[in-house]
Amino acid sequence: MQNLFKQAATKYQLGDYHGALQLYRQAGAKFGEDLVWHNLSLCQRQIHKNNEGNKESHECCFKTLISDGSTKPALAVLINDIGSLRYLSEFDCLSKLQCTVKFYANTALGLIPVHNMDVAEKYAADFQPVKGNVDLADCDMYASIACEQVLTESDIINFISNKFANNNDKYTQLCDLNVTETKIVDGRVSVIVPTYGRAESLKRALESVASQCYANKEIIVIDDNGLNTDNQLYVAQIVQNVKFNYPELNLRYIPHQYNRNGSAARNTGFLASRGEYLCFLDDDDVYLPGRLTKSVEKLESTSTEIGAVYCGYINGNESGRNKKRYIAGNLSEEILLLDYQKHYIHTNTVTYKRAAVAHLNGFDESYIRHQDLEFNLRFFQSFKTDVVTEPLVHIRPLQVTHENKVYDEAMMAIKHKFLSQFASLIASYGEKVQRKIYLHHWNELIEFSSSKKLLKKKLKHNNHQFDLNLFK
């Protein structure tokens, strides 16, 4: 043990922080991580400092790979062991690079996009070592890190630098990942249909897509009910019946082992899809005639800064004919304000360019609600949207028998996570808009509370975290 520490200390003093880090890790594996935690942190801090100093040269190299000035090259990093992500929450350089870095957990459930440690911890028990080639697409470089190795930002930066310089001069723990790249079909629209607890309306939803006149389409049904449940068996039969009635239809059925939530279902569908364009349909809604054709025609005429288009919808007394609600551009403020009456953006009305969804690495699976708001806010940080100015979706044409909602403490946790994540974006608006954003979210929280009086009192005494006196 003393010999390892001496060697590590020598390397640290000589400025070989990567070498020291490796030796301290070996000591931690043998004698317990508590003994070396401080030393590991010191090495990591020095590596971060070096990364900052080398950033300009990295960025100069990265810029040579950008073809149109808007799309960054992308690196996919496959994680086989949750321990490899120990420092993920401390990474602060990656967003400044001229390269998009996306993390995936290799699990018994399949590949899962990892946006933060909340997602990794959610699937901690499901991580497993990679075997053979991995079916993945939408990236320029692919890498993996072996189990029991802890990933650092320097590993990522050096791997990218080596790739761009076409050599292996810089040390990195990342290794090339063997992939079978998914072939994306030009012009194809992938319609992803998550379903949970509403099998009775699913047939109508699927038939509304099957009957679309746009021929180059695929439907991917993601069954989130859980294997061998009554709902899962019912859904499987519905899909079989639709296949029988539409024998030429490209329809795939993917059941989840257990209920994982809507964002996970959409990610499963995205990773399985082959389309150049992507859209989603909830199992209790329907597409109206022309939904796919008109959206694709609009998308094909847009510039690279446009990542999606959306259409209108019919819902109750809403006819979808209000021209003022067809707003193009960046709708971040409207989304933050929960101003649903100002626009027609809805999970079912948007058709995305695949490149935009890939850039965002899909949905953040740590959200059990607000996953669509979170996804679209990240979308608008990189892209704009255009519009198809007519209603092409019918929201809930039938009475809903199952609501996927959360209340009380669970909803409060979601609100806090969401508002904290986008605090800097909210702060970019004037004080009046900021106050309205927080007020609207807390009012919605009160609405989803079983005891509105107690929750309002609790919020009043805890609103200091956002420096706003919402309730007087």
Pick the closest to residue 177 from 194, 193, 190, 163 (CA basis): 163
Pick the closest to residue 415 from 450, 361, 368 (CA basis): 368
* Distance from C-alpha of 270 to C-alpha of 280, rounded to nearest angstrom: 10
Pick the closest to residue 402 from 194, 196, 193, 222 (CA basis): 196
Model pLDDT, residue 256: 98
List CB contacts of 345: < 8 A, sequence separation 6 or more: 310, 331, 334, 335, 376, 385
Residue type, 39: N
Model pLDDT, residue 69: 42
Model pLDDT, residue 325: 98
CA atoms within 13 A on the CB side of 369: 19
* Distance from C-alpha of 282 to C-alpha of 205, rounded to nearest angstrom: 8
* Distance from C-alpha of 221 to C-alpha of 401, rounded to nearest angstrom: 20
Model pLDDT, residue 34: 61
The phi, psi pair for 89, rounded to 5°, reads -70, -15
Q: Which two tokens stand for residue 351?
A: 């058709």
Q: In this structure, are residues 210 and 249 in contact, taking their beta carbons and an 8 Å threshold?
A: yes
Strands (E), 303-414: 306-314, 350-353, 384-394
- Locate the domains of the chain by residue range: 2-181, 185-394, 408-466
Kind of pairing between the strands at 100-107 and 74-79? parallel
How many CB atoms sit inside 10 A of residue 428's CB? 11
pTM for this predicted structure: 0.86
The phi, psi pair for 76, rounded to 5°, reads -100, 130
List CB contacts of 205: < 8 A, sequence separation 6 or more: 193, 281, 282, 283, 284, 285, 286
Q: Which two tokens stand for residue 308?
A: 């999606």
Provide CATH code, domain 185-394.
3.90.550.10
Residuewise pLDDT in 10s, the chain (472 residues): 567 676 777 767 667 777 777 777 777 666 665 656 667 677 766 766 665 555 454 444 444 443 344 468 999 999 999 999 999 999 988 888 889 999 999 999 999 999 999 999 999 999 999 999 999 999 999 999 999 999 999 999 999 999 988 888 899 999 999 999 889 999 999 999 999 999 889 999 999 999 999 999 999 999 999 999 999 999 999 999 999 999 999 999 999 999 999 999 999 999 999 999 999 999 999 999 999 999 999 999 999 999 999 999 999 999 999 999 999 999 999 999 999 999 999 999 999 999 999 999 999 999 999 999 999 999 999 999 999 999 999 999 887 666 778 888 899 899 999 999 999 999 999 999 999 999 999 899 988 888 877 777 766 666 545 444 443 3
* Distance from C-alpha of 437 to C-alpha of 335, rounded to nearest angstrom: 9
Model pLDDT, residue 463: 54
* Distance from C-alpha of 110 to C-alpha of 82, rounded to nearest angstrom: 15
Q: In this structure, are residues 292 and 210 in contact, taking their beta carbons and an 8 Å threshold?
A: no
* Distance from C-alpha of 254 to C-alpha of 222, rounded to nearest angstrom: 5
